[in-house]
Structure 1
Amino acid sequence: MKLVPDASGEIPREVVFKQLCKAFNKSPFFKHCGMKMRVEDGVIKGFVDMDANLVGNVAFQILHGGVAATILDSIGGIVAMGEIYLSGKGELVDRIRQVTRLATSDMRVDYLAPGRGKYFVATAEALRMGRKGCTMRMNLHNDENKLISTAIATYVY
């Protein structure tokens, strides 16, 4: 990933986010699941279209909970990476090292409503960014903006 500082010595937010999405979207597993990350309104969002292969409850045609958990974990991780890059704490080489080491150490998912919809949108926000890890909150909404599931995760780097 090529991140070049602008005239002020900072990496433009949009560049960081687009590069992170580009890297994420190359994952064969996420392609297989139909998951995609993109920048909208200045933030990274995760998207997955409902597909027959993603159904967990056949009788009710509900999104599999594992798919929901996967996209929540992924959006939490990618937003955490963006926060690390943009923090300005330490040298850029150190921030890149932290991003490459980022791993989920704990995650709790709450399933609030059946996963019904044409597509689902995941978002994340940083609750705490520390020296060696961070805590993120993630949400998954359906195409009608109904909150389907939420998660809190800790990532270490």
Structure 2
Amino acid sequence: MTRHQTPPSEVVFEEEFVRGLTEIFETRIVFNQVLGLKVTSLRGDRVTGRIAMKPDLVGHYTFNRVHGGVISAGLDAMGGLASMAAIGARHMDEAPAQRLQRFGKLGTIDLRIDYLRPGIGEYFDLEAEVLRLGSRVASTRMEFRGADGKLLSTGAGAYIIS
């Protein structure tokens, strides 16, 4: 970051950018609809989301535990969203519509998930942050928490951004 750039945590996104990025994430990425993944906060340095538990997400029927694939897919999606937000913050000199066009090449190149506790609850909160945004790759860290705030899983991902 040059000394003239605003730190990502202080970037205030335009309503058009937030609306567009949320629409891409919640609507155009159809699998996120299957998960029920919703954006709850969108900043240049950190994003949050929520998944409400529903019968379609059960992995262990006896305990009504969320499937590990839901956790993995949710954390992966949030890492991608954090990367998009960081790119959006980096290019604040561009119009919102122009920044939204930058996400066409974004894809996961590495993903690691650590399952720490069983996922049981009525909803789950997800958070992701970009640790490093290079010219070609973004590195992220993600968390998956229960409704009580307890950490259930963590993730680390790398995303191709160009």
TM-score interval for Structure 1 and Structure 2 normalised by the shorter chain: 0.7 to 0.9
| Cα separation, 2, equivalents of 1:118 and 1:21 | 23
The within-5 A match list for 1:82-97 is: 82-88=85-91, 96=100
Cα offset, 1:36, TM superposition: 1.5
The farther-off stretch of 13-22 and 125-134 is 13-22
Q: Among residues 60, 65, 69, which one is paired with 2:63 in the alignment? A: 60
1:23 matched to 2:24? The reply is yes
Q: CA RMSD in A?
A: 2.6
1:49 matched to 2:44? The reply is no
The within-5 A match list for 1:51-130 is: 51-88=54-91, 96=100, 98-130=102-134
Residues 39-84 of structure 1: CA deviation (Å, up to 9, x unaligned): 2788532211111110101122110000011110111101100101
Listed as ranges, the gaps of 5+ residues in structure 2 are 1-10
Q: Among residues 3, 18, 38, which one is paired with 1:36 in the alignment? A: 38
| Cα separation, 2, equivalents of 1:91 and 1:137 | 27
| Cα separation, 2, equivalents of 1:118 and 1:40 | 23
Amino acid at match of 1:50: M
| Cα separation, 2, equivalents of 1:40 and 1:82 | 7
| Cα separation, 2, equivalents of 1:12 and 1:151 | 26
Once the two structures are aligned, what percentage of the paired residues are identical?
33
| Cα separation, 2, equivalents of 1:88 and 1:62 | 41
Listed as ranges, the gaps of 5+ residues in structure 1 are 1-10
| Cα distance change of structure 1 residues 25 and 91 upon mapping to structure 2, 3 Å threshold | closer
Cα offset, 1:100, TM superposition: 1.4
Q: Is the 8 A contact 1:18 1:39 kept in 2?
A: no
Amino acid at match of 2:13: R
Secondary structure of the 1:139 match is: strand
| Cα separation, 2, equivalents of 1:25 and 1:35 | 7
Cα offset, 1:33, TM superposition: 2.3
| Cα separation, 1, equivalents of 2:63 and 2:136 | 42
Q: Is the 8 A contact 1:17 1:44 kept in 2?
A: no
Secondary structure of the 1:13 match is: coil
| Cα separation, 1, equivalents of 2:34 and 2:112 | 24
Q: How many residues of Structure 1 are paired with residues of Structure 2 in the alignment?
A: 147
Query: What TM-score, normalized by structure 2, do the two folds share?
Result: 0.79
Amino acid at match of 1:22: E
Secondary structure of the 2:33 match is: helix
Secondary structure of the 1:36 match is: strand
